[in-house]
A and B are shown apart, each in its own frame.
Chain A
């Protein structure tokens, strides 16, 4: 078994204009690999578990950076670092849910170089897949984790379909909860899709975790006013308090009238490949008091339909407890 840590030879493109990047991405097609902060990419390439002919480095494109107001919408450039998202005063004031999520991704060093676009586009962290095994997601015909003896403590409770890898992003649940939309550009122009539709389950596409395809570039994330200044709750539970992926996380937004919940958006991460929106819980809490009684009554609904693997059963009570805390907070 070869073990590597030296970057393989490949072409490197460093465009400074978005249009040039789009042209290069279109021309290279599947031969090209977009890289933002590189915190997902370089592991794949240095381990040589995945390979590419050419890297398209987006870090030189200034127009992809920063936070700007566009009417009622707040637009975040895809290359904005997680540290910048976590500390941006406007995001902190209006959408602290996202700032809180970004602030607890990985470690300070990774947040300083990792981007919001990269964080939502990153691949899953199933250790079998990352080791380069030929699983379904890698184009093979086996899932090593979804077996009675699989080492699947971090894996998914829901929507496993040939793959039970859990999503790794901490910001993704927050973006889904905030009804964010993702701006995608390509040589044909582009499109804007909701965050909920941006992430795709293995049942729909076993090879990709997002709807992005060759030639697409995620350029920005847009936050509508829907949940601006709402009552937010974000919590991440990981083994370590720094430099760890979530065992389960939760992002929730509430509109209140007094103590009563008039609307709610509740999303859990790390329980399936995509952020899991808990619509049954949202429906159940509308009109209810935002208190412990409501929380305890609805929390078990959060895990309805969960399929527990050999080692991830703890995620069921953990997910319920996080839902309870989000509502009771």
Chain B
């Protein structure tokens, strides 16, 4: 009960005030998050610029570069092969089930080939490499930061971007297209195996149709995408490692974020690249 001279509490007004508070807090939190995303994008862009300048001035060592190419290639072999093979196989089976209804069985491998070359090959390879190599980059560099090894590099008159980022960036740019070719090849072979041995499709027409409908441009589009995704994985992995919070928890969080951010960036970039590269090919 309100005392003398006091207003009666209005429940409706209280609800509106509570809603206002929640709305303000939500909008503040959202704007902070958006600001954070843009700040990180800016930092990654600055890192890319520093890496490009370092690359142009030839500050990276060949020894580190070769090691990183070997490391990325070897570390990703099994996942890329398994992903490529099973994607090609399941794609062949699924395509056959639909095409068989309209008597287009022999076009099955053409669909597998085009999909693998321009979309599934580069995207799935990049996602797999982001999962193992991108995470490893963030964890390795993050641990170096936590244990003062990055400070030790700087004290030894070595720029961390020259030593840590540039070799990884070039290696990822070079290794991703090679791994993608591997995934495409094994995917098509997997699709061929399933089509011929399990679905009883005539191999000659199957192969001939694949060659007929798959164009060089499909492969080129896939390789351009893979080249770009390599840079995305290395840049985000290195950035997350170099800026991770100190402590074991910080390294763990940086590793997770490196994989999540790289995967999301790859999937979003893939949409725009498909549109842009598709238009370019049709103009040419």
A binds B: no
Residues of B within 8 A of A (CB): none
Residues of A within 8 A of B (CB): none
